[in-house]
């Protein structure tokens, strides 16, 4: 059964139906004349085992204010995207009244109902929202990678998380399902298969013992770069800073290799919806942004190796003539030699030091927003720890699936640490509760071996409460990824890489500070969150990634 787009209008449902005719192959298109009818239609779809992908409504309804109607529909289907298609006669007048609701996340888009054929602007907005729904809610119909496993254990979930972040549609099948049996037919030899088995687009099947096995099979390993080759620039980390550096460096003719420990996108890639990045008025999921940037860089010739952390780095010393030798980046999959290096390894979440938590990572406990795990939280009670924007976004995304989401913070409220648009959206969401002056002090497994409970302590009175909890999402501040860097790359007291005039004078060369994004090692630059003093935003990181490229050019060719 196809998912439904419910079209709601008292007098113009025929017009809407005509406009949405182009979607009729892939979606059911029930119509409703009122808010109440739309709610009944949604209930019917759900009762029949279907899914509602979207509500599209006029800005005025006969029986309810449209924002109130969204509230009802959200209670019925929290995952559906919500769109207002306002008729031209009321578009301007209603915009003033309704736009505030969009900023608070009460709905996703305010559009002008098409007034003629081929209004592709309107349909671009609809397609983007459907694509976002499809990649975060629905299981994909057409998979690029099939995983066969009798259980969705921590490894299977990590593989799915990696594939989701790389934009590879994937699904898990039981070995005795039709799809599972079809994959098993491709296993070579007579040995009993070990799970999880992974089949890629080329129909190659293999047991995956780690996420890296999957990454290597699909994207290769750094040793694939010819050992004698010296690339112009190697970029460590494919978050927004590294991706921007890759796009600009390769588009300007530099040979460019990116080494990434996990999947492309970095922290931004784990964000369910980035709403403050320039040029995306309806927001963009971090995964899509990362995919687009990666494709852009690949088109210009960048080579990416994902799943390979740089484990150490040997800076190139000048040779006898004073010419710099190449820098060497070491990974477990081979070395990469480069004339210039951009360090854009970002930050990672601090670990929660509470008994019982660490061994349940991947089994209900997740660091960062863990987009893939959200789907598994259907009907559960979950806890998000953290008061920053990343915690807010995670809570809103989780509330689409979970029965209840509690945000735990040590401070009294979120006001000081979270953007007000997110605080507003959280306040409006009936499934999310904020609990101030609280911390998680212990956790443990339920009967199935996954997280079953946590103990929460009230930091003012010291009282402790053990509560059921199937998902714990930890977004509790971040520290730089720099343990692999040699001491020659100077850092501040917290480990962030120093660049330009932030470098203490005693480390300057010939009385001069390094260039603005240059570190204390000539030819090694830093961009994004890992850089001391950076702004810790997507736009700032990508801006720095772009700005570092002219400095790389100047280093490679000082006469230019
Ligand atoms: C859930 C969430 C939501 C967010 N939402 C927003 C938002 O809405 N708006 C906004 O402006 N900002 C947002 N941020 C912040 C923003 O994502 C970061 O500021 C930005 O991603 C920093 O980019 P970066 O490239 O410097 O580092 P990162 O994004 O941290 O990327 C660094 C990359 O380097 C890799 N790496 C680390 N060590 C190594 C190594 N040794 N070898 C190879 N690779 C390595 C990491 O795996 C990672 O992929 C959000 C952050 C999170 C976590």
> pLDDT tens, position by position, for the chain (560 residues)?
899 999 999 999 999 999 999 999 999 999 999 999 999 999 999 999 999 999 999 999 999 999 999 999 998 998 999 999 999 999 999 999 998 888 778 899 999 999 999 999 999 999 999 998 988 887 788 899 999 999 888 899 899 989 988 888 999 999 999 999 999 988 877 777 899 999 988 788 999 999 999 998 888 888 887 767 899 999 999 999 999 999 999 999 999 999 999 999 999 988 888 888 999 888 898 889 999 999 999 999 999 999 999 999 999 988 888 888 999 999 998 999 999 999 999 998 888 999 999 889 888 999 877 777 888 898 899 999 999 998 999 999 999 999 999 999 999 999 999 999 899 999 989 999 999 999 999 999 998 888 999 999 999 999 999 999 999 999 998 889 999 999 999 999 989 999 999 999 999 999 999 999 999 999 999 999 999 999 888 999 999 999 999 999 999 998 87
Q: Are 324 and 256 within 8 A, CB to CB?
A: no
What separation in Å is there between the alpha carbon of 273 and the centre of ligand 1? Answer: 14
Distance 17 CA to ligand 1 centre (A): 42
Distance CA 179, CA 172 (A): 9
478-510 burial string, b = 16+ CB within 10 Å, else e? bebbbebbeeebbbeeeebbbbbebbeeeeeee
Atom of ligand 1 nearest to the CA of 527: 26
| Residue of the CA atom closest to atom 8 of ligand 1 | 274
- Residue to mutate (ligand 1; options 165, 239, 407; most atoms within 8 A of CB): 239
Q: State in Å: Cα 73 to ligand 1 middle.
A: 34
Give the number of the atom of ligand 1 that is nearest the alpha carbon of residue 345. 34
Model confidence, pTM:
0.87
Q: Are 41 and 30 in contact (CB under 8 A)?
A: yes
Cα 466 to ligand 1 centre (Å): 33
Mutate-to-test residue for ligand 1 from 219, 268, 420, 527, highest number of ligand atoms within 8 A of CB: 268
Instruction: Tell me how far CA of residue 408 lies from CA of 374, 417, 457, 488, 523, in angstroms.
Output: 18, 13, 10, 40, 44
40 in helix, strand or coil? helix
Q: Atom 11, ligand 1: which residue's CA is nearest?
A: 537
Cα 463 to ligand 1 centre (Å): 36
Atom number, ligand 1, closest to the C-alpha of residue 481: 38
Ligand 1 centre distance from Cα of residue 277 (Å) = 14
- Ligand 1 centroid vs 81 CA: distance in angstroms? 26
The residues pairing with 146 across neighbouring beta strands, listed in sequence order, are 171, 199
**Is omega for the bond preceding 260 within 30 degrees of 0, making it cis?**
no
What letter does residue 224 receive in the DSSP assignment? G
Residue having the nearest C-alpha atom to atom 53 of ligand 1? 267
**What is the pLDDT at residue 489?**
97
Residues flanking ligand 1, CB < 6 Å:
236-242, 259-262, 266-268, 270-271, 274, 276, 309-310, 344-347, 368-369, 389-390, 393-394, 481, 484, 528-529, 536-539, 541
Question: Do residues 378 and 401 lie in contact, with contact meaning Cβ atoms separated by under 8 Å?
Answer: yes
C-alpha 554 to ligand 1 mean position (Å): 27
In the reported structure, the alpha carbon of residue 265 is separated from the centroid of ligand 1 by a whole-number distance in angstroms of: 7
List alpha helices for 346-441, DSSP H: 371-375, 389-398, 420-428
Q: Residue 346 Cα, ligand 1 centroid: separation in angstroms?
A: 5
Ligand 1 nearest atom to the CA of residue 391, by list position:
1
Nearest alpha carbon, ligand 1 atom 35: 237
* DSSP H/E element including 547: helix 538-556
Spacing, Cα 67 to ligand 1 middle (Å): 34
- 428: Cβ–Cβ under 8 A, 6 or more apart, which residues? 104, 105, 106
pLDDT at 491: 97
CA angle 257, 263, 268 (to 5 degrees): 100
**What atom in ligand 1 is closest to the CA of residue 275?**
8
Distance 530 CA to ligand 1 centre (A): 9
Work out which ligand 1 atom sits closest to the CA atom of 266. 49
CA distance 225 to 38: 57
> Which atom of ligand 1 is nearest to 264's Cα?
49
Find the angle CA(191)-CA(196)-CA(199) to the nearest 5 degrees: 85
Atom 20 of ligand 1, residue of closest alpha carbon: 538
pLDDT in tens, 311-329: 999 999 888 888 889 999 9
- Give the 3-state secondary structure of residue 508: coil
347 alpha carbon – ligand 1 mean position (Å): 6
The residue whose CB lies within 8 Å of the most ligand 1 atoms, and thus the one to mutate among 245, 271, 407, is 271
User: Is the Cβ–Cβ distance between 90 and 59 less than 8 Å?
Assistant: yes
Compute the distance between CA of residue 209 and CA of residue 191 in angstroms, rounded to an integer.
17
* Largest distance between two CA atoms of the chain: 84
Residue nearest to atom 7 of ligand 1 (CA): 274
499, 519 Cβ separation under 8 angstroms:
yes
Instruction: Work out the number of other CB atoms within 10 angstroms of the CB of residue 63.
Output: 13
pLDDT at residue number 165 = 87
293 dihedral zone (left: phi>0; alpha: psi -120 to 50; beta)? alpha
Pocket test for ligand 1, best of 162, 328, 538 (most atoms within 8 A of CB): 538
512 Cα–ligand 1 center, Å: 31
């Amino acid at each position: 059964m196809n998912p439904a787009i419910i079209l709601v209008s008292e007098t113009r449902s025929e017009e809407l139906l005509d406009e949405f005719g182009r979607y009729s192959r892939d979606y059911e298109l029930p119509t409703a004349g009122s808010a109440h009818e739309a709610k009944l239609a949604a209930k019917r779809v759900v009762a029949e085992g279907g899914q509602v992908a979207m509500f599209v409504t006029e800005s005025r309804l006969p029986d309810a204010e449209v924002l109130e109607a969204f509230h009802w529909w959200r209670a019925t289907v929290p995952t559906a995207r919500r769109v207002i298609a306002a008729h031209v006669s009321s578009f301007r007048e209603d915009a003033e009244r309704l736009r505030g609701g969009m900023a608070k996340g009460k709905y996703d888009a305010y559009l002008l109902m098409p007034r003629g054929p081929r209004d592709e602007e309107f349909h671009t907005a609809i397609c983007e929202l459907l694509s976002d729904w499809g990649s975060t809610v629905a299981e994909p119909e057409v998979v690029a990678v099939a995983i066969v496993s009798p259980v969705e254990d921590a490894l299977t979930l990590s593989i799915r998380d990696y594939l989701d972040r790389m934009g590879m549609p994937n699904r898990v099948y039981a070995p005795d399902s039709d799809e599972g049996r079809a994959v098993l037919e491709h296993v070579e030899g007579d040995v009993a298969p070990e799970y999880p088995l992974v089949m890629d687009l080329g129909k190659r099947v293999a047991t995956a013992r780690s996420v890296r096995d999957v990454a290597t099979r699909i994207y290769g390993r750094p040793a694939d770069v010819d050992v004698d080759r010296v690339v112009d620039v190697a970029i460590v980390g494919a978050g927004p800073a590294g991706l921007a550096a890759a796009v600009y460096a390769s588009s300007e003719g530099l040979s460019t290799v990116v080494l990434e420990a996990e999947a492309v996108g970095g922290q931004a890639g784990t964000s369910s919806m980035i709403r403050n990045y320039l040029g995306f008025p309806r927001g963009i999921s971090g995964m899509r942004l990362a995919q687009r940037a990666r494709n852009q860089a690949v088109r210009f010739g960048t080579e990416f190796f994902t799943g390979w952390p740089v484990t150490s780095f040997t800076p190139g010393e000048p040779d006898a003539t004073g010419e710099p030798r190449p820098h060497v980046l070491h990974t477990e999959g081979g070395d990469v030699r480069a004339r210039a290096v951009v360090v854009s390894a970002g930050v990672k979440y601090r670990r929660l030091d509470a008994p019982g938590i660490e061994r349940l990572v991947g089994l209900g406990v997740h660091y960062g927003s863990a987009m893939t795990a959200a789907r598994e939280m259907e009907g559960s009670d979950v806890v998000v720890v953290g008061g920053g924007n990343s915690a807010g976004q995670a809570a809103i995304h989780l509330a689409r699936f979970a029965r209840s989401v509690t945000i735990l913070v040590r401070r009294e409220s979120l006001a000081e640490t979270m953007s007000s648009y997110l605080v507003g959206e959280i306040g409006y969401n009936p499934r999310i509760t904020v609990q101030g002056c609280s911390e998680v002090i212990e956790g443990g497994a339920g009967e199935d071996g996954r997280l079953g409970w946590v103990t929460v302590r009230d930091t003012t009175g010291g009282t402790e409460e053990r509560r059921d909890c199937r998902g714990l999402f930890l977004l509790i501040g971040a520290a730089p990824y720099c343990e692999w860097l040699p001491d020659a790359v100077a850092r501040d007291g917290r480990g962030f890489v120093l660049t330009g005039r932030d470098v203490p004078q005693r480390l300057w060369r010939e009385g001069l500070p390094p260039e603005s994004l240059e570190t204390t090692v000539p030819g090694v630059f830093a961009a994004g969150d890992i850089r001391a003093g950076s702004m810790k935003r997507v736009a700032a990181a990508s801006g720095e990634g772009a700005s570092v490229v002219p400095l790389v050019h100047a280093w490679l060719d000082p006469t230019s």
